[in-house]
Amino acid sequence: MLLRIEMEHLRGKQDEARKMKEFLLAYVERVERLRANRDQWQREAERLSALIAQVPHWSLFWARCCFDVSKAWRKLTGLRPARDVADVRAN
């Protein structure tokens, strides 16, 4: 009888250990996916930074000025930015 109780106790501990191992493995996989995503976005940031470095500074200044003028014009005239055709049809 005592042996049976001890066996059930050990099975319970094994089951608990198995569940904990599954939980930890799932956690490790999640961390690995997060790291991979982080690395992907880091590479993308580096790529974009290198791309921006190739653009002449006057060009960036000019684009910013055009954007600011467009924004001010829309504000003065009450125009909204262009919407997708699907949005227009929905309304």
Determine the pLDDT at residue 47.
Answer: 96
Domain of 89? 56-91
- Shared domain for 5 and 31, answered yes or no, is yes
**Are the beta carbons of 79 and 73 closer than 8 angstroms?**
yes
- Shared domain for 2 and 38, answered yes or no, is yes
Q: Kindly report, residue by residue over 22-71, the tens digit of the pLDDT.
A: 999 999 999 999 999 999 999 999 999 999 889 888 888 898 899 999 99
How many domains, the chain? 2
Q: What is the CA radius of gyration of the chain?
A: 30
- Shared domain for 5 and 34, answered yes or no, is yes
- Shared domain for 17 and 47, answered yes or no, is yes
- Shared domain for 15 and 28, answered yes or no, is yes
Largest Cα separation within the chain, whole Å, is 89
- Shared domain for 26 and 41, answered yes or no, is yes
Rounded to 5 degrees, what angle do the CA atoms 72, 67, 46 make?
Answer: 145
pTM of the model: 0.49
